[in-house]
Amino acid sequence: MRPEEKIKKSILSGNISHAYIFEGSRVSGKAQVAESFLRAISGKVNLSACPDYYEVRAEAGQGRSVRSIKDGDMEELQANLKMKPQGDRNMALIRDADTMTVRAQNRFLKTLEEPTPGTVVIMLSENTENLLETIRSRCVIYRFYDNDPVAKADNAVRDIPDLIIDREDFHKIKKAIASGIKTREEAYAFLDLLENTYRDIMIGRDERSRLIGKEEAIRAIEIIEETRRALYGNAIVGYALKRMALRIQENQ
């Protein structure tokens, strides 16, 4: 399922998280989807005229030699998000989230851990690896691709996450991976599906959260992200995915 379809489904169901990361290139359309999402949940056509909407982006100048989001930028955003909204909720769009300094990320972590009710924050990122794991683990992550391999691969891989999560026989999982995932793009799509499912389990949105503990889900997500990094480093697709599935099983 494409990110746009998942987001639309969450809006219709009212199942809206307080924090999201939209990852993708500048031409992936992630910014346009983020803006449409915020317009939909706020009922405002013009976000810039909405008093409950706040935007942060990397800036140069004022003594900054490199474009980045600093601690002071996040401190100001936090103060704004604590104010009572005029409408139903406060909203924030953080562009260039990859450029947040470590200090800025650690400051903002407090907001993600203890969000004001109704608040929705979207961070736009080109590579989530530039964000702290403590930040990533508290956000729903959607990945946008220029050629949308998620849509192409979804039919082939949609059943494999359930095989892993439901602790099916490893040989059955290996066979499904070998037959269903052929390309690196399909592998990334599969990792997205698996990671999002574990995140749903971690926060209690999936009924399997009764059987799988939060710590187990967090460790599975860590293994998935390690596998993603291995694929970024040109690891062999089939080997990396099978090894990941085995590590997750051993963690169960």
pLDDT at residue 146, rounded to an integer:
62
Same domain as 181, residue 237: yes
Domain boundary among 101, 120, 146: 146
Same domain as 154, residue 142: no
pLDDT at residue 156, rounded to an integer:
55
- The answer to whether 205 touches 217, Cβ cutoff 8 Å, is no
Instruction: Spell out the per-residue pLDDT of the chain, length 252, in tens.
Output: 678 888 888 888 888 999 999 998 877 889 989 999 999 999 888 898 899 999 998 875 454 445 789 999 999 999 999 999 998 899 999 999 999 999 999 999 988 998 888 999 999 998 888 899 999 989 999 988 765 544 545 555 778 888 999 889 999 999 999 988 888 878 888 888 888 888 888 887 777 888 888 899 999 999 999 998 898 888 999 999 999 999 999 887
Domain boundary among 101, 127, 146: 146
pLDDT at residue 210, rounded to an integer:
83
CA distance 246 to 139: 26
Same domain as 189, residue 119: no
Domain boundary among 146, 162, 193: 146
Same domain as 125, residue 181: no
Three-state DSSP state, 83: coil
- Phi/psi region, residue 97 (left: phi>0; alpha: psi -120 to 50; beta: rest), is alpha
| Domain enclosing residue 130, as ranges | 1-146
Same domain as 130, residue 28: yes
Three-state DSSP state, 93: strand
As a whole number of Å, the end-to-end CA separation of the chain is: 27
pLDDT at residue 60, rounded to an integer:
55
Same domain as 128, residue 6: yes
Same domain as 11, residue 125: yes
Same domain as 133, residue 179: no
pLDDT at residue 65, rounded to an integer:
45
The count of structural domains within the chain is: 2
CB contact set of 233 (below 8 Å; sequence gap of 6+): none
Same domain as 162, residue 112: no
Same domain as 14, residue 32: yes
pLDDT at residue 147, rounded to an integer:
55
Same domain as 91, residue 7: yes
Q: Given the DSSP bridges, would you call strands 140-143 and 53-56 parallel, antiparallel or unpaired? A: unpaired
The count of other CB atoms within 10 Å of the CB of residue 5 is 12
Q: What is the CATH number of the domain that holds 104?
A: 3.40.50.300
Same domain as 127, residue 153: no
Q: What is the DSSP letter of 179?
A: H
pTM summary value: 0.60
